[in-house]
Copies of this chain bind each other. A is one copy, B any other.
């Protein structure tokens, strides 16, 4: 399970950008906010070839790199200046697990997707002098950030590709998140977030993993034993080796922080609470990409929002891996995504 393991060994080298004390939209501040990021390729003299790609739930920039970046791929470093950025709370950018006391662990303040996007905007302007991104893309929570980018900074986003995500978390999706949080927080070792050792909360992390695996993949993935393609030999072997193996090295407070941010996602705050008004702000050429079998973000929800976005197209693909095709485990998904992104990047 090298692809998704969250150990320090596989995060790869990354740089950090220090934004100083950063006020949060829901109140409070993160002291000395640091964004961890990595870049590939070279920024053109005109600074018009930059692509921004923020992370999904429980993922790092290393996951994005391995699944989406490379020669011949849509995100080709020989053509583009690709900025992969870790969202706040993922363990590499400022997080409950990395903040120094007294604002650490259970005291780390709540943040919103809007905070991520404001911080990322400062990163690209202050660090790289980029005023307009050729493309912002992201999957799942990365799609949430992509939408927020296009709504908040319409003139800074030439193209947008939100993948397998929505602009506002639905009531059913919020219930999913409540279940994720409860799976971890119900472990007595979590202790309200005040555990001394994250690995002591492994029972909660394992429960969370198996709950994640329930709707994250499709029934067909299990029925057809498609996990064999990753080298596993049984359902149990797959659930333990792949899914528990992904979450066990992660910090329980970081995951709960991310789950709350996901649950609270709502671009309509930028439109005075009205979703249609918020989405009407988007100027980017937008490909809304959906996985037909997605158990986290149903196609119908994604399509309803796409219709509110001018200059957008709905692009769908099918994968038995469901939502978690985004991990780069399905060559069919990878090929379709690349084709969509290449088409979008070819449009002016």
Q: Which of A67-75, A208-216, A263-271 contacts B (4 or more CB under 8 A)?
A: A208-216
Contact with B along A216-227 (1 / 0, CB 8 A): 011111110100
Contact check: which of B170, B179, B203, B210 meets A222 at CB < 8 Å? B170
A219 touches B172 (CB 8 A): yes
Report how far A182 CA is from B298 CA in the complex, Å: 26
- The answer on a CB contact under 8 Å between B176 and A214 is yes
Contact yes or no, B182 A223, CB < 8 A: no
Q: How many angstroms from the CA of A175 to the CA of B178 in the assembled complex?
A: 19
Instruction: Map CB proximity to B onto A162-190 as digits: 1 under 8 Å, 0 otherwise.
Output: 00000000111111101100100011100
A223 touches B170 (CB 8 A): yes
The residues of B that contact A207 with a CB separation of less than 8 Å are 179, 182, 186
A155 interface contact, C-beta 8 A: no
* A214 shortest CB reach to chain B, Å: 6
Q: Does A329 reach chain B (CB closer than 8 Å)?
A: no
- A343: Cβ under 8 A from any B Cβ: no
Most chain B CB inside 10 Å of its own CB: which residue of A186, A218, A220, A235: A186
Whether A301 lies near B203 (C-beta < 8 A) is no
**Would A171 and B211 count as touching, CB distance under 8 A?**
no
> What are the residues of chain B within 8 A of A24 when measuring CB–CB?
none
Interface assignment of A239: CB less than 8 Å from any CB of chain B: yes
Q: A178-B210, A179-B210 are known contacts. Are A223 and B186 too (CB-CB below 8 A)?
A: no
Contact between chains at B301 and A214 (CB < 8 Å): no
Chain B residue numbers with a CB within 8 Å of A300 are 219-220
Q: Complex formed: what's the CA distance from A220 to B300 in Å?
A: 9
Could you tell me if A210 and B186 are in contact, using CB atoms closer than 8 angstroms? no
Residues from chain B with a CB closer than 8 A to the CB of A214 are 172, 175-176, 179, 215
Q: Are A222 and B186 in contact (CB under 8 A)?
A: no
B-chain residues with CB within 8 Å of residue A172 when the two chains form the complex: 214, 217-219, 221-223
A235–B188 CB distance below 8 A: no
Bound-state CA distance A176–B300 (Å) is 24
Closest B residue to A225 using CB positions: B171
Contact, CB under 8 Å: B175 / A213: yes
Contacts of A182 in B (CB 8 A): 207, 210
- 20 A–B contacts from the bound complex (CB under 8 Å): A170-B219, A171-B222, A172-B217, A172-B223, A173-B219, A174-B235, A175-B210, A175-B235, A176-B214, A179-B210, A179-B211, A179-B214, A186-B186, A186-B187, A186-B203, A188-B188, A211-B211, A219-B298, A219-B300, A219-B301
16 additional A-B pairs beyond A172-B222, A179-B207, beta carbons within 8 Å, are: A170-B219, A170-B223, A172-B214, A172-B218, A175-B210, A175-B214, A175-B235, A175-B239, A179-B210, A179-B211, A179-B214, A186-B187, A214-B215, A215-B215, A219-B298, A223-B301
